[in-house]
Amino acid sequence: MCGIVGYIGDKRAADFLLEGLTKLEYRGYDSAGIAVNCGENIFVEKSVGRLDSLKDKLKYRMPGGVIGIGHTRWATHGRPSDINAHPHTDCNKNFVVVHNGIIENYMPLKEELISRGHKFISETDTEVVPHLLEEVYRGDFVEAVREVLNKLEGSYSLVFMSKENPDTLICAKQDNPLVIGLGKGENFIASDIPAIINYTRQTYILNDGEIAIVKKDSVKIINRRGEPVDKKIFHVSWNAEAAEKGGYEHFMLKEINEQPKAVRDTMSKRISKDGTKILLDELNWDKDFLAGIDKIYIVACGTAYHAGLVGKFYIEKLARKLVEVDLASEYRYRNPIVDEKTLVIVISQSGETSDTLAALKESKRLGAKTLAITNVVGSSIAREAEQVIHTWAGPEIAVASTKAYTTQLILVFMLALYMAQINGTVSEQRARELIGLLKKIPAQISETLSDVEPIKTFARQYGFNEDVFYIGRSLDYCVALEGALKLKEISYIHAEAYASGELKHGTLALIVEGVPVIALATQKSVYEKTLSNIKEVKARDAVVIGIAAEGDTELEKYLDHVIFIPDTDELLIPLLTVVPLQLLAYYAAITRGCDVDKPRNLAKSVTVE
């Protein structure tokens, strides 16, 4: 998730590029850069850190050219640095490229290019693109770009600039957004509408596989075969604030809806082509490494801690290793039993949570092996841990964590299966079955997101209750905890999650007529027990909303309301059950008029103890 801009016209390109990037900084902010075609040469300036440091560098040397491209980065391949920042160039600085997404086959392409004498300077996947262009260019810019695109696997939005072709920018889209703003005697390119909305509302929104040849007075769209595409102009009617949120009312809702893509991005490249193996190239573990681990701790805070609870289930069930899950703020002060045979896994979206970072440092001091699961490349936690695997969720802006949670679940699941495959604690057939079902999850999340009306209705009906209970067993209990946290933090409703079997040990005293109870009943191995707990609650006249897998015909017999989610293996179903709970919290907060993205007393990144 990065931000892209491009300009071609009669004005100084750098002015638009910097303004556009400012509007897109929420999409990525670890480094930024611009390139401007100045005729004699292509001027490139880049800077690690916030956009302001790039602006500082440009203060007294703004390039005067009228065609340029820019980028604000959210690191994926390669840590945040001046060199890894975009734009990237070929050996002779004739071609410049900015990119959003992941070039999956960049390693073999890079090796081939190096063997043919190309010099690489960055750690990024993107840098292969200008070098490829340099290789195939024989005077026809468009043809060369088409040839390059045919060599790329993965997801991208790309903008290409060429020194020799000062009247043309070319851009291409595959799985990442790209929009062209149509001006008078000038045209704009951006990954998101906010960058261009102050300049024009007439746009072309590119579809996958489309290539746009953008000149100052014309825009021609072609497909990958070079055939012209008849494109309709899209008039943007949103205001600037709504545009930043992609047309959604809040970042939280946008991020909930981004989950299919975030989950797909996180798992893609980490499954073998034949669908039989989990590939975590970042780790390179083997049997000896795992034999040297007798205990695993997962340490995290808040939502990441809840992902850790699910991770414990996965690792114990699939890889048969003992796992303790701990809150970072507790772990670091209780002298945990940790030594060199302990693996400590920390999970953190931001990679900056101070309790988690301190727990990580304490684990290292005690001699543990350490692994971080984080969303932010180059974050403090990513740098401190010995090993890192990244979720590819893109920036999460809303305080309430949503897409970070589902991508964390994906990674703890893949890690568990990866360990099980090394250890031989999962059969080939079961692994293939689980991987097959894993690949279906993005589409199933989309399906879950497509029917929000009943959830809105429940939120309106129960949004003014002061207490809500969430119950479930096994993995349903872990998800119940996350559902309750979401409701608490954004709607300020008192919400508690209980393991259903625990109700009778105290909490049942609170269940009286009319109290809303959200009952998760998706775990087949404990289904009968779950059902009898639900009946206990119903018998106290609670209002029970069930969450069940499609095909469940039992629950409806006892409950007035059931939300159905697509069915999958019970290990994977938390990825789906959490979605209606996120939406319920969101719409309850809306019903109560709460500030969804910035709930009271909370911050996105908790860098204090």
Residues with a known catalytic role: 2, 604
The nearest distance, CB 278 to ligand M6R, in angstroms, is 23
Tell me if 100 contacts ligand M6R by CB under 6 A. Answer: no
Tell me if 353 contacts ligand M6R by CB under 6 A. Answer: yes
Tell me if 303 contacts ligand M6R by CB under 6 A. Answer: yes
The nearest distance, CB 405 to ligand M6R, in angstroms, is 8
Count the alpha carbons within 13 Å of 214 in the hemisphere toward its beta carbon: 36
Is the previous residue joined to 87 through a cis bond, with omega within 30 degrees of 0? yes
- The CA–CA distances, whole Å, from 571 to 133, 291, 396, 416, 577 equal 45, 25, 25, 11, 11
| Element at 262 (helix H, strand E) | helix 259-267
Q: Please identify, among the stretches 190-198, 223-231, 440-448, 600-608, the one whose residues bind ligand M6R according to the rule CB under 6 A.
A: 600-608
Q: Which residues contact 462 (CB under 8 A, 6 or more apart)?
A: 468, 516, 543, 588
Backbone angles phi, psi at 249, to 5 degrees: -70, -30
Q: Please, which residue, 401 or 444, has the CB nearer to ligand M6R?
A: 401
The nearest distance, CB 395 to ligand M6R, in angstroms, is 12
Q: Please identify, among the stretches 20-28, 210-218, 264-272, 397-405, the one whose residues bind ligand M6R according to the rule CB under 6 A.
A: 397-405
- Write down the residue that tokens 């600037």 correspond to: 240
Tell me if 401 contacts ligand M6R by CB under 6 A. Answer: yes
- Shortest Cβ contact with ligand M6R: which residue? 302
Count the alpha carbons within 13 Å of 369 in the hemisphere toward its beta carbon: 16
What is the rounded (10 degree) CA torsion for 45, 215, 150, 96? -10
| Element at 127 (helix H, strand E) | none
**Cα(498)–Cα(348) distance, integer angstroms:** 24
Q: Please, which residue, 191 or 353, has the CB nearer to ligand M6R?
A: 353
Tell me if 345 contacts ligand M6R by CB under 6 A. Answer: no
Tell me if 259 contacts ligand M6R by CB under 6 A. Answer: no
**Cα(400)–Cα(590) distance, integer angstroms:** 14
Tell me if 597 contacts ligand M6R by CB under 6 A. Answer: no
Tell me if 21 contacts ligand M6R by CB under 6 A. Answer: no
Among residues 301, 319, 323, 409, the one that binds ligand M6R under rule CB under 6 A: 301
**Cα(25)–Cα(41) distance, integer angstroms:** 27
**Going residue by residue from 537 to 566, which x/- string records binding to ligand M6R, judged by CB under 6 A?**
------------------------------
Q: Please identify, among the stretches 117-125, 141-149, 274-282, 300-308, the one whose residues bind ligand M6R according to the rule CB under 6 A.
A: 300-308
Tell me if 382 contacts ligand M6R by CB under 6 A. Answer: no
CB-CB neighbours of 608 under 10 Å: 8
Which amino acid, 458? Answer: F
3-state secondary structure of 69: strand
CB-CB neighbours of 115 under 10 Å: 8
Tell me if 348 contacts ligand M6R by CB under 6 A. Answer: yes
Q: Which two tokens stand for residue 150?
A: 């045919």
Backbone angles phi, psi at 347, to 5 degrees: -120, 130
For residues 72 and 51, the answer to whether their CB atoms sit within 8 Å is: yes
Give the interface size with ligand M6R as a residue count (CB under 6 A): 17
Q: Please, which residue, 302 or 442, has the CB nearer to ligand M6R?
A: 302
Tell me if 373 contacts ligand M6R by CB under 6 A. Answer: no
Strands 323-327 and 295-300, by their bridges, are parallel
Tell me if 350 contacts ligand M6R by CB under 6 A. Answer: yes
Q: Please identify, among the stretches 131-139, 258-266, 399-407, 457-465, the one whose residues bind ligand M6R according to the rule CB under 6 A.
A: 399-407
Binders in 115-154 for ligand M6R, by CB under 6 A: none
Tell me if 380 contacts ligand M6R by CB under 6 A. Answer: no
Among residues 165, 257, 266, 356, the one that binds ligand M6R under rule CB under 6 A: 356
Q: Please, which residue, 151 or 604, has the CB nearer to ligand M6R?
A: 604
Q: Please identify, among the stretches 53-61, 109-117, 301-309, 527-535, the one whose residues bind ligand M6R according to the rule CB under 6 A.
A: 301-309
Tell me if 455 contacts ligand M6R by CB under 6 A. Answer: no
Q: Please, which residue, 301 or 526, has the CB nearer to ligand M6R?
A: 301
Q: Please, which residue, 102 or 485, has the CB nearer to ligand M6R?
A: 485
Hey, which bits of 57-153 come out as E strands?
Answer: 67-73, 88-89, 95-103
The nearest distance, CB 307 to ligand M6R, in angstroms, is 8
Distance of CA 151 to the CA centre of its chain: 26
Which amino acid, 350? Answer: S
Q: What is the CA radius of gyration of the chain?
A: 25
**Cα(129)–Cα(144) distance, integer angstroms:** 11
For residues 5 and 55, the answer to whether their CB atoms sit within 8 Å is: no
Binders in 188-227 for ligand M6R, by CB under 6 A: none
Residues near ligand M6R, by CB under 6 A: 301-304, 348-350, 353, 356, 399-401, 485, 489, 602, 605-606
